[in-house]
Amino acid sequence: MTQKRSRRTTQSKRWLARLQKVESPDVTYVSDTFPIVMKKARGMKITDVDGNAYLDFTACFGVMALGHGHPLLMRAMRAQAAKLVHGMGDVHPSASKVLLLEWLARVTPFDEAKSVLSLSGGEAMESALKTAMIVTGRHEFVSFSGGYHGLHFGPLALTDRSTFTRGFEPWLKGKTHVVPFPLAQSVRSVGCEALDEAFYRDTHALVHWDTSLEKLEDALRTRKIAAVVMEPLQGRGGERTWPAGFLGQVQKLAHQFGALLIFDEIYTGLGRTGSLFAHDHEGVVPDLLVLGKALGGGLPLSACVGDCMDAWGRSTGEARHTSTFLGHPLACGVGLAAVQEIVRRLPEFQRELSRVDQSFSAFLDEYCARGLHTKIPFQLRGRGFMRGLWFPAAEPGFAAKISEELLALGFITLPSGARGDVLSFTPPLIARAIQFDLVLKAVLQVLAK
Ligand SMILES: Cc1ncc(COP(=O)(O)O)c(C=O)c1O
């Protein structure tokens, strides 16, 4: 059994008290036992300022795909920093920006891919939304319930969560039609027999696939929609996969009514789901692909890629869309080293996934053997290195509580889903099944209580 640690917290508490004096109060959630204050990290291991060690099952929001402090990336960082740290994105470009753009053009599924670079996921979404407006001459969007596309004003209009939109509604109003998420088959579920379609509709706003497509078509019929925006696997929405064939239907409808299809692969891209891009699993190619998180190898970098960029026209000296740090040379240099390494090692990561599947199967068996399924029904969600344990009948915030308990046992995880009822695992892609075994054992221990 994993021992509950008598965690040292003195230093963390000191730092948190100092933080609370100077940071806006709605940024970091602080309680008696949460959060830790990070000091250093290597591979999957994070150490806090009190010297406690943790296994990172978040890759720090999906960013550290190769683990923390990867020597190759450290070398790339030093090499690029010695040459050029900051440049002039839309005026005098750096060679490292050109190399990264060429790489993106090679690996993305477009004949003549061109990109707009930026720093965060939300900014890359802004590029995608603006591009769709310029291509179509339209100014409204469709997104799906539970989708998360960032909190900048553009993508915020697509992010269907009142926690984030509260206070800004009048500004956001009328920009987006939110279509309900379709009920999908879970990978595997236990104890859910009594939960019928009405339960999923009433408690989780999940609808039959036909209803979802009808609502989508209603919105598209207005012929005001510039693009349908979706994550090929919803991340913060709770590792939610779409029913097989659904993405293809969405694409067909979008194109029928002259709208673009934007895949937000900020979370799912670059190996996270077990293939280079999550849309590879369904073979549906979007008109615009948005990447972020893992793209910068730990530095802030994001991109909007597609083959419709020429709609912007040629710059006449003042770029219509740019920013001070666009194509940041250091981020591009490190990012290129990171993504090339992800591609090189992808087969190795994929091989480990069959063992990870076995870890989840063993967890499921043990869950039933202990009779937990009769008390807490649950479903496995997600794929690759983006997995969730969904507790559909539990009270809101249930996974957040488990996550806090896991922290005390030495595991960093995050809750996800609009109700905070999914315990999510998005570790670095270097995670081994044996490490999943450890955290899943700890989950059983916490649930058995
Ligand atoms: C799917 C998706 N899109 C967009 C974003 C926003 O990215 P950022 O926080 O870098 O702005 C996120 C962040 O979690 C995300 O998961």
List the domains of the chain with CATH numbers.
10-69+346-448 (3.90.1150.10), 71-342 (3.40.640.10)
Residue 124 CA to ligand 1 centre (angstroms): 9
Picking from 405, 377, 382, the residue whose alpha carbon sits closest to that of residue 392 is 377
Residue type for 423, please? L
Picking from 221, 220, 192, the residue whose alpha carbon sits closest to that of residue 206 is 192
* Cα separation, 322 vs 93, whole angstroms: 13
* Cα separation, 114 vs 10, whole angstroms: 50
Q: In what order do the strands lie in the sheet with 140-144?
A: 114-118, 302-306, 288-291, 260-264, 225-230, 140-144, 176-179
The closest-lying atom of ligand 1 relative to the alpha carbon of residue 268 is 1
Q: Look at residue 411 and give its three-state secondary structure.
A: strand
Q: Is the CB of 149 under 6 A from ligand 1?
A: yes
Q: Is the CB of 121 under 6 A from ligand 1?
A: yes
pLDDT at site 337 = 98
Beta-bridged to residue 388, according to DSSP, are 381, 424
Q: Is the CB of 281 under 6 A from ligand 1?
A: no
pLDDT at site 193 = 84
pLDDT at site 449 = 83
Residues with Cβ < 8 Å from 375, sequence gap 6 or more? 191
The closest-lying atom of ligand 1 relative to the alpha carbon of residue 293 is 10
Q: What is the mean pLDDT of each run of 10 residues along the chain (449 residues)?
A: 69 96 96 94 98 98 98 98 95 97 98 97 98 98 97 94 93 95 82 88 93 98 98 97 96 98 98 98 97 98 98 92 95 98 98 97 94 92 96 96 96 97 98 98 94
Residue 263 CA to ligand 1 centre (angstroms): 12
Residue type for 343, please? V
The tokens for 16 are: 């948190």
Atom 5 (ligand 1): residue with closest C-alpha?
A: 150
Report the alpha-carbon angle 366-371-372, nearest 5.
Answer: 80
The closest-lying atom of ligand 1 relative to the alpha carbon of residue 119 is 10
Residue 49 CA to ligand 1 centre (angstroms): 27
Q: Is the CB of 265 under 6 A from ligand 1?
A: no
The pick from 60, 125, 149, 241 for probing ligand 1's pocket by mutation, whose C-beta has the most ligand atoms within 8 angstroms, reads 149
* Cα separation, 309 vs 229, whole angstroms: 17
CA of 11: how far to CAs of 24, 52, 409, 414, in Å? 21, 11, 19, 23
Q: Is the CB of 385 under 6 A from ligand 1?
A: no
Residue 148 CA to ligand 1 centre (angstroms): 7
Tokens 């004096």, residue located: 21
The tokens for 60 are: 């720090």
Beta-bridged to residue 383, according to DSSP, are 386
pLDDT at site 409 = 96
Q: Is the CB of 154 under 6 A from ligand 1?
A: no
Q: Is the CB of 148 under 6 A from ligand 1?
A: yes
Q: What is the model's pTM? A: 0.97
Q: Is the CB of 263 under 6 A from ligand 1?
A: no
* Cα separation, 114 vs 367, whole angstroms: 48
CA of 72: how far to CAs of 47, 58, 79, 299, 323, in Å? 21, 21, 11, 14, 29
223 and 258 Cβ atoms separated by less than 8 Å: yes
The closest-lying atom of ligand 1 relative to the alpha carbon of residue 300 is 10
Residue 164 CA to ligand 1 centre (angstroms): 13
Cis before 25? omega within 30: no
Q: Cα 138 to chain center, whole Å?
A: 27
Q: Is the CB of 386 under 6 A from ligand 1?
A: no
Tokens 């009048």, residue located: 170
Residue 435 CA to ligand 1 centre (angstroms): 26
Tokens 């190769």, residue located: 66
Q: Is the CB of 146 under 6 A from ligand 1?
A: no
278 and 242 Cβ atoms separated by less than 8 Å: no
The pick from 129, 143, 240, 266 for probing ligand 1's pocket by mutation, whose C-beta has the most ligand atoms within 8 angstroms, reads 266
The closest-lying atom of ligand 1 relative to the alpha carbon of residue 290 is 3
Residue type for 347, please? P
Atom 8 (ligand 1): residue with closest C-alpha?
A: 121
The tokens for 142 are: 């469709």
Residue 150 CA to ligand 1 centre (angstroms): 5
Q: Is the CB of 300 under 6 A from ligand 1?
A: no
